[in-house]
Structure 1
Amino acid sequence: QRGTALEQAKPIFTGDKTSVAVSGWVLFDDKTPLSLVTEAHTFYTASQYVYQDGKLIGLPLPQDAEIKGYFKGKLFIELKSDLTNKDGNFKQGAVVYADVADLIAQKAKFSLFVSPTQTASIAQLSFSKSAIFVNWLDNVKSKLVRYEQDEKGAWQSTQVPFEANGALTVMDVEQDSDDFFVNYTSFLEPSSLYTVNAKTLNPKKIKGMPQQFAADKFKTEQYFATSKDGTKVPYFVVMAKDLKLDGTNPTLLYGYGGFEVSLRPSYSATIGKNWLEQGGVYVLSNIRGGGEYGPAWHQAALKQNRHKAYEDFEAIAEDLIARKITSSKHLGIQGGSNGGLLMGAAFTRRPDLYNAVVCQVPLLDMFRFNKLLAGASWMGEYGNPDIPEEWAYIKTYSPYHNLHKDVHYPKVFFTTSTRDDRVHPGHARKMVAKMKDMGIDVLYYENIEGGHAGAADNNQAAELNSMAFAYLLQQLR
């Protein structure tokens, strides 16, 4: 109970020391609380328990499935791999549900709620008093759909009327109400807040951020590049409406490609003022490793397949050049954290392809990443370098181990923070020291504050951004 001294509290569950995390949490449907305990064995696998009447009961769920919600006595889960059982065959990325009472009794009967398509994945699930809302990502464009069960138990769907070219985020959905909020944005439209009623589906704009740059002078296009293995990889280009396709446009290609994180269209006054209005082209890549097409898109670049994400990124760079939007001389790239690893791999794999690299709070020494700070928890993503056969594929892209003295590299700008408690600043420090020892020209900035964000306040963020854009314009214009 609240206020009980810790030494008097009764332990409910103790996780194994080799697990990544243990947590207790509560889900609510319209009436009943459901107390859960989760033991995450790795970043992507977990065991789930219900705590009821002083007992802990394991739930018969796939360890790689993710609990998405609790609605009218049923537990909804998203599948990260195919599930075949007596109830049927359920696709990877589908959301299925079962009665909680049956799960507790170990007699679960799963039913399909929604399933992904070749182009559409499930970005978000939200549960109101009377309906379930699915935020679909269809070719990286958001679509919000309401689902209600009819008298026969069949799910009926209705789309909420929002523009298709932006990104939606559903907010503040409560299961005792039918009102909620939606944030809508795009590359050229500032973030706007709408209120939506789950019954009428009539969005009403409450307030929007003001325009901070001349967005009417620019346009957004979506293209698809063909990766080395034939996979079509989407990317967005934000550029001037009167852009000349002569290969001379300063172009910034941004990427991440990991941990099932989807990069969606979003408004940035910083990019608008400091890049687009300065004559630059901005490109957002949707490479494998992200979640743009569901779990399969992420898993396609895990561990020994990490190179797929890097091949996707290179394919987009080459496609930009083929379209004469830019050329290698005018092409710069940027990414942070796992995206910083992407930057390191990009310029060591294909130094000829880029003329500027902004590598922020990066992972770079992949032989020791699991020894530093939170690194051990990411072995589900990259593999374990202490296992020889796994190090054999990790070392093929580890940026620190793929530097060569006789290779001409673009002048890279590394940034990190002394107080980064997620990715150790030692990664960037070691990389820069090694490059300097090899006589390679390099730029380095280490902020003493800011943690993994690299900046502690708006003034520091402005200073960091101004350095990055000044560097990019110096290298590419």
Structure 2
Amino acid sequence: MRLGCWILTWATSAMVMTGGAVHGQAQTPDNQKDYSFLNDLHGKQAMEWVQHQNHKTLSILEKDHRFKGFYKNTLAALQAPDRVPLPQLQAGGVWNFWQDAHHPHGVWRATSYRSYLSQTPKWQSKLDIDALAAKEQINWVFEGAECLAPAAEHCLVQLSNAGEDAQTLREYNTQTGQFISGGFVFPRAKQQAAWVDDNTVLVARAWGNDGATLTSSGYPFVVKAVQRGKPLEQATEVYRGRPSDMMVAPLTFTDGDGQRLVLILRNITFFETRYAVWDGAHLNWLALPPKSEVHGFAKGRLIVSVQDDWKPKGLPVVPAGSLVALDPKALEQGVEVIFTPDPSQALDQVGITKNTVLVTLLDNVRGRAMRFEPVQPGRPWSMEPLDVPDMSSVHIVAANPQSETAFLSVENYLTPQQLWLVEEQEQPKKIKAEAPCFKTSDLVMEQLWAKSADGTHIPYFAVHRKAMALTGANPTVLSAYGGFQLSYTPTYMPEVGQLWLQRGGVYVVANIRGGGEFGPQWHEAGRKAGRQKVYDDFAAVGQDLVQRHITNPQHLGIRGRSNGGLLAGVEMVQHPTQWNAVVIGVPLLDMENYETLSAGASWVAEYGSMSVPEEAEFLKKISPLRHLKPEVHYPVPFIFTATSDDRVGPLHARRFAAKMERFKKPFFYYEDIEGGHSGTVNAAEVAHERALEAVYLSQRLMDKH
């Protein structure tokens, strides 16, 4: 995932890497060239530059003799017919969104519960996104649906054009399988909607075309109630936050007894949220700690996790990271602590069934699961560990307050995704499993630890051949995320197995600070000016791999996306001799201007702000764009982004590549014209990008130069 500093000559040709990508004749721009035209995202000159860079990159990577095989194998795995169809429990059955070679955009489909448990469920197509896209000539991407519980007959289907965050919402009837003529339609916007009843929807979106109801992050701060049959102009305002907020949104829960709770969420920052109960006329703000997250509604109790130590009035301190239950109408009457993790643990996910609360957690980054039930108000909840495989990721796939069943997924780097059924009072049982996409009998997965610059021990997973020789020259890819309290857990990735592990490569994932692997404190340690710890942790894992004689800088590459792309960029400029390949995906790289780019202002609580002098100094210190130097030899990076990314945006990647071009530094650049922040829209595009990466990493780390 990170740096290196080599100017290469490919063994297969006499072509030399020069500014922009590998090509026969160096055509570098003047050192003073003005690249401001790149700021016009879809402008003619900017798109000509993008197409030129794409052509140079593809003319090398796609022409590699391995590319077609890499692409074919990855696409086949992504579209394998025996993949586990992940369930969604609603509308009296099991629903699933499915993409394959015949439906690249996907089809939303349904079957009965009994049929789903069989080996060959009988699916009924409900909404064909390919047909809809063809009919309307729009590159629709299905991004889920918000359905009115408990019947889930009425849903607001969320459609995105080319994968952008902005969505169009359309009312759909799950019984008729049709969009409702004259039903609710909310035009394209960054928006969030929640049902109140059959005829009322709360919506947070831009009201008007002047942007006056959007925050500096580009998200809405005004929630209105929209009545069936009435235009948006007649919507009634429910709550107005502040332009300085990150976002305001509505949220609705219905528990297993049919009790409905309507909330307004005011995200003051990315991590600080205030919650209010809306009774249809008034808002009652809950005295919850600012750093808390609502997970659901069970037996009339709001299920909440707290990220800071919290002392409710008249009660003992609730430790940070705990899960609690409380009465939203009478919070002062008591808070029940459901679960408090120990120092090696962290909450991962919470799911609500009719009578239980399911929890998945990490224990030294290994997945665990538990089931909790209320005994009586004011008494400790009963707890039962659930028997799931070790050294794996365990996630809640489906849990519905109207159902007594739930589904868990279990996977790791060598075990394909499995689906486990959880029925009340029963231990989980495996009911479905994907077929392996690559041979694992000669591979092993182990958890190792490195010591960071400040002495903190950092865990990481390494996957490699059992008979790997400790020669210090094994081709190795190191990846991490390290931000926003998101945990990076073991995941089965066919392309990694087929295109890397089976060919003798080593795959490593580091659980560095900034993530959530060890709870709120692990994240807090890497926030704002503490962020250098994140970068030190990652560098320490790289050094540990060398010290263990697994690899060396010439055979060590790094990879990151989004915040992980920032990580990769920082490592490239801070440690340019420690890596020989750097994959920088949909990244933040211009940290002096990130607040003004796309949704950047929403991440001030994570990174800091240029408006605060001490935070500005740190942002300048770590900004990869700022610290690119003409006299330094860097590893040749592969930078990829998407024109339609309306979250991070392509300007970070463009500016970084343009500066490398100005300094006549070699690089690969690929910008997908569509795809949003995911960078890709469908399996074919995912396979294409992964194949490009695999060729790049093979050339840099496996081939002899």
User: 1:75 matched to which residue of 2?
Assistant: 302
Contact 1:29-1:72 within 8 A present in 2 as well: yes
Corresponding residue SS for 2:311: strand
Matched to 1:405, the amino acid is P
Contact 1:187-1:266 within 8 A present in 2 as well: yes
Matched to 1:433, the amino acid is A
CA separation of 1:457 and 1:128: change in aligned 2, threshold 3 A? closer
User: 2:597 matched to which residue of 1?
Assistant: 372
Corresponding residue SS for 2:370: strand
Contact 1:420-1:454 within 8 A present in 2 as well: yes
Measure the CA separation in 2 of the matches of 1:364 and 1:35: 39
User: 2:274 matched to which residue of 1?
Assistant: 47
Runs of 4+ with deviation above 3 angstroms:
149-152
**Partner residue of 2:679 out of 454, 466, 471:** 454
User: 1:224 matched to which residue of 2?
Assistant: 449
Contact 1:60-1:108 within 8 A present in 2 as well: no
Contact 1:178-1:199 within 8 A present in 2 as well: no
Establish whether residue 272 from structure 1 lines up as the match of residue 500 from structure 2.
Answer: no
5 Å matches for 1:387-466?
387-466=612-691
CA separation of 1:56 and 1:473: change in aligned 2, threshold 3 A? same
Measure the CA separation in 2 of the matches of 1:17 and 1:170: 35
**Partner residue of 2:329 out of 101, 108, 111:** 101
Corresponding residue SS for 2:289: coil
Q: Give the Å deviation of 1:36.
A: 0.7
Matched to 2:388, the amino acid is F
Measure the CA separation in 2 of the matches of 1:385 and 1:102: 41
Corresponding residue SS for 1:7: helix
User: 2:137 matched to which residue of 1?
Assistant: none
Establish whether residue 26 from structure 1 lines up as the match of residue 252 from structure 2.
Answer: yes
CA separation of 1:440 and 1:202: change in aligned 2, threshold 3 A? closer
Structure 2 unpaired stretches of 5+? 1-198, 201-227
Measure the CA separation in 1 of the matches of 2:402 and 2:668: 54
**Partner residue of 1:58 out of 253, 261, 285:** 285
Measure the CA separation in 2 of the matches of 1:9 and 1:437: 52
Measure the CA separation in 2 of the matches of 1:441 and 1:100: 58
Structure 1 unpaired stretches of 5+? none
Corresponding residue SS for 2:621: coil
Q: Give the Å deviation of 1:93.
A: 0.7
Establish whether residue 263 from structure 1 lines up as the match of residue 488 from structure 2.
Answer: yes
What is the TM-score normalised by the length of structure 1? 0.96
* Deviations 1:383-414 (CA, angstroms, capped at 9, x unpaired): 11233321111111100111122222111111
User: 1:166 matched to which residue of 2?
Assistant: 392
Q: Give the Å deviation of 1:21.
A: 1.2
User: 2:161 matched to which residue of 1?
Assistant: none
User: 2:419 matched to which residue of 1?
Assistant: 193
Establish whether residue 137 from structure 1 lines up as the match of residue 362 from structure 2.
Answer: yes
Measure the CA separation in 2 of the matches of 1:457 and 1:67: 32
User: 1:88 matched to which residue of 2?
Assistant: 316
Measure the CA separation in 2 of the matches of 1:188 and 1:430: 38
- What's the C-alpha RMSD, in Å, of the aligned pairs? 1.5
Corresponding residue SS for 1:176: coil
Contact 1:411-1:442 within 8 A present in 2 as well: yes
In terms of Rg, which structure is larger? 2
User: 1:357 matched to which residue of 2?
Assistant: 582
Establish whether residue 208 from structure 1 lines up as the match of residue 430 from structure 2.
Answer: no
User: May I ask how many residue pairs the two structures share in their alignment?
Assistant: 473
Matched to 1:471, the amino acid is Y
Q: Which of 1 and 2 has higher RCO (CA within 8 Å, sep 6+)?
A: 2
Q: Give the Å deviation of 1:439.
A: 2.5
Matched to 2:553, the amino acid is S
User: 1:239 matched to which residue of 2?
Assistant: 464
Contact 2:261-2:277 within 8 A present in 1 as well: yes
Corresponding residue SS for 2:236: coil
Q: Give the Å deviation of 1:379.
A: 0.8
User: 2:403 matched to which residue of 1?
Assistant: 177
What is the TM-score normalised by the length of structure 2? 0.66
CA separation of 1:366 and 1:108: change in aligned 2, threshold 3 A? farther
Contact 1:340-1:363 within 8 A present in 2 as well: yes
Contact 1:145-1:157 within 8 A present in 2 as well: yes
Corresponding residue SS for 2:550: coil
Measure the CA separation in 1 of the matches of 2:324 and 2:387: 26
Contact 2:420-2:428 within 8 A present in 1 as well: no
**Partner residue of 2:341 out of 116, 127, 136:** 116
Contact 1:334-1:359 within 8 A present in 2 as well: yes
Measure the CA separation in 1 of the matches of 2:602 and 2:380: 41
Corresponding residue SS for 1:180: strand
Contact 1:46-1:64 within 8 A present in 2 as well: yes
Measure the CA separation in 2 of the matches of 1:44 and 1:17: 17
**Partner residue of 1:249 out of 474, 484, 491:** 474
**Partner residue of 2:513 out of 288, 310, 315:** 288
